[in-house]
Amino acid sequence: MALILRLDRVLADRKMKLNDLAEKVGISYVNLSNLKTGKAKAIRFSTLNGICEALDCQPGDIIEYVKDE
């Protein structure tokens, strides 16, 4: 099982830069970058809520679950 983060795709669709999103959400650029690249091991619901609010999207637009084959 794997969770895949699609934050880069949603950012591109919204024509928003990671710096701008970090500022709107109130999270450091480094932490948000780790999330975007899949290096983060966890995400707080408050952060996910802030990202969804800033990007006007649903959690499923950002996070995808894929089963192992």
SS (HEC) of 11-56: HHHHCCCHHHHHHHHCCCHHHHHHHHCCCCCCCCHHHHHHHHHHHC
Q: Is 4 helix (H, G, I), strand (E, B) or coil?
A: strand
Range of the domain at 35: 2-66
- How many domains in the chain? 1
Q: Does residue 50 have a pLDDT over 70?
A: yes
**pLDDT digit string (tens) for 1-35?**
688 899 999 999 999 999 999 999 999 999 999 99
pLDDT computed for residue 38 by the predictor = 85
> At 32, which CATH number?
1.10.260.40
Cβ–Cβ under 8 Å, residues 42 and 53: no
Cβ atoms within 10 Å, residue 27: 18
Show the CA angle centred on residue 14, arms to residues 13 and 16, nearest 5°.
Answer: 120
pLDDT computed for residue 14 by the predictor = 95
pTM score of the predicted model: 0.88
